[in-house]
Amino acid sequence: MFLEIILFLALLALLTISSWKPARMPPGTFCWPILGELPPRSIPITEYLKNLKQKRGPIFTTKWGSHRIVVVTDYNLIKKAFNHPDIQGRPGFFSLELLNNCKNAAMVQCGPGTGDSRFFLGVIHSHGSVWTENRRFLLRHLRDLGMGKTALEGSIQQEAEMLVDHLDKNCVGKPAAMNHSINCAVLNVIWQMLASKRYDIKDKMMHRYIALIDEDMNIIQGILFIIDVFPWLAKVLPSFIMNKVFKVDVLYRNRDEAQSMFKQVIDDHMATLDPNNPRDVIDQLLLERAHRDAPDYLTPEDEVDVLAIISDSFAAGSETTSSTLRWMILYMAINPEIQAKVHKRLDEVVPNDRLPSLNDRNQLQYVDAMLLEVMRLSSFVPIGMLHTATAEVTFEGYDIPK
């Protein structure tokens, strides 16, 4: 009995010591052993972090379960931190590792719960040379294909017309969910740059893909947060609990189904690839990654990376634009006087015989201001992509451990 008491006290002491913040880290406070300083579910995370900022300053430390987190809240400090070469890593959260392609890549030695994200692929979850190379490649070819230029305007106008026509036929005079139709229009613009094709709003594959993304987000932002905060649970809980309670099997199944959709498109591109006339981003990816002696062949590692880049392009491009449009519709409905001013300004600048274009933007400052205000008020991405220190870092006089 005495030995058990000694062991219990020793374990309690170790847990307490592990919860202490290193001396030169940004300001923090007492954290409970194991639990840390978990944010309450009763208030938005932004309000919780804002309250901590008022108490601790623009840079502070908190601890969520097993993860010690440095929070930076000042705009200029955020820019400085994100430009620091040793603060470019990605955290090894369970959900990120699960959704990433590392499980199927022959070269990858990581897996959900390991915390080893060195081999994450794609753009969103990768870092280091992989992130630099993939980001540079994607931006270069998206710009070549018209991103941010009038070359993409025709595709945007086509999808806008299709969206308005669909809403006019199906949503006038009655409550209607617009999520799917807006998502479909935005995804089609991205899809035309990536794969030179578009889908009808009623297309079954498009419906299924959007449903997969929605289901994944509901799980990740819900119950799976517990595993992200306490990753050691993934190693000790039996698989039936991980699947029944945390829906891990659903995430695996959805990931594999989405990748199968993308792989079919990649296979179709490989079968019709003309090295002298690349049609889109997928063609450019295949030409860059394919073997010189076998242009119709990709290594397993390259195939996984291509799948990750395509998936990331959809995730990053579609949700941000779709969310902005949904918030805009809500705010315009709540503020009909603003809606009337926007409509009036469009009527003054854009003739009735054509659609608005990027060339009109300089004369539509009020419309521009309205969109900026929508993004300011909604803050639909209130927290930036999480980073991790890949080395010991001194930042603004504080020491941040690796």
How do residues 270-327 score in pLDDT, each as one tens digit? 888 888 888 888 888 888 776 555 656 667 777 777 888 888 777 766 778 888 999 9
Last residue of a domain, one of 307, 334, 361: 334
Coil, helix or strand at residue 388: strand
Residue 154's pLDDT band (cuts 50, 70, 90): confident
- Identity at 386, one-letter amino acid code: L
Q: Provide the whole-model pTM.
A: 0.78
| Closest C-alpha among 134, 125, 140 to residue 88 | 125
Domain range spanning residue 24? 1-88+387-402
Q: Please tell me the predicted confidence (pLDDT) of residue 270.
A: 86
Is residue 222 domain-shared with residue 322, that is, in the same domain? yes
Is residue 397 domain-shared with residue 294, that is, in the same domain? no
Would residue 47 count as lying in a domain? yes
Is residue 148 domain-shared with residue 65, that is, in the same domain? no
Q: Please state the rounded mean pLDDT for residues 168-197.
A: 86
- Identity at 43, one-letter amino acid code: I
Is residue 183 domain-shared with residue 249, that is, in the same domain? yes
Main-chain dihedrals φ then ψ at residue 398, nearest 5 degrees: -105, 150
Rg (C-alpha) for the chain, rounded Å, is 24
Is residue 33 domain-shared with residue 170, that is, in the same domain? no
Q: Which two tokens stand for residue 3?
A: 């030995």
**CA–CA distance, 308 with 305 (Å, rounded to integer):** 5
pLDDT over 80 (residue 75): yes
Residue 106's pLDDT band (cuts 50, 70, 90): very low
Last residue of a domain, one of 306, 334, 362: 334
Q: Please state the rounded mean pLDDT for residues 156-162.
A: 90
Would residue 10 count as lying in a domain? yes
Would residue 193 count as lying in a domain? yes
Q: Please tell me the predicted confidence (pLDDT) of residue 336.
A: 96
Is residue 142 domain-shared with residue 283, that is, in the same domain? yes
Mean pLDDT of the chain: 80
Q: Please state the rounded mean pLDDT for residues 203-232.
A: 87
Is residue 146 domain-shared with residue 54, that is, in the same domain? no
Q: Please tell me the predicted confidence (pLDDT) of residue 370.
A: 96
103 CB-contact burial (10 Å; exposed 0-12 / middle 13-18 / buried 19+): middle
Q: Please tell me the predicted confidence (pLDDT) of residue 282.
A: 86
Lowest-confidence pick of 16-20, 67-71, 141-145, 197-201: 16-20
Residue 18's pLDDT band (cuts 50, 70, 90): low
**CA–CA distance, 322 with 374 (Å, rounded to integer):** 13
135 vs 254, higher pLDDT: 254
Would residue 120 count as lying in a domain? no
Would residue 95 count as lying in a domain? no
Q: Provide, for the chain, the percentages of residues in helix, strand and coil under a 3-state DSSP scheme, each rounded to the nearest 5.
A: 60, 5, 35
- DSSP states of 188-254: HHHHHHHHS----TT-HHHHHHHHHHHHHHHHHTTTTHHHHH-TTHHHHS-HHHHHHTT-HHHHHHH
Q: Please tell me the predicted confidence (pLDDT) of residue 210.
A: 86
Is residue 54 domain-shared with residue 158, that is, in the same domain? no
Structural domains counted in the chain: 2
Is residue 228 domain-shared with residue 319, that is, in the same domain? yes
Is residue 151 domain-shared with residue 20, that is, in the same domain? no
Q: Please tell me the predicted confidence (pLDDT) of residue 112.
A: 38
Is residue 143 domain-shared with residue 78, that is, in the same domain? no
Q: Please state the rounded mean pLDDT for residues 262-266.
A: 88
114 vs 260, higher pLDDT: 260
Q: Which residue in the block uniquely carries the two structure tokens 């578009």?
A: 198
Residue 146's pLDDT band (cuts 50, 70, 90): low
Would residue 154 count as lying in a domain? yes
Q: Which two tokens stand for residue 67?
A: 């993860």
Would residue 381 count as lying in a domain? no
Is residue 202 domain-shared with residue 287, that is, in the same domain? yes
Last residue of a domain, one of 334, 362, 378: 334
Q: Domain with 327 in it: what CATH number?
A: 1.10.630.10
- First-to-final CA distance of the chain: 40
pLDDT over 80 (residue 181): yes
**CA–CA distance, 228 with 36 (Å, rounded to integer):** 13
Would residue 158 count as lying in a domain? yes
Lowest-confidence pick of 28-37, 63-72, 140-149: 140-149
pLDDT over 70 (residue 328): yes
Residue 121's pLDDT band (cuts 50, 70, 90): low
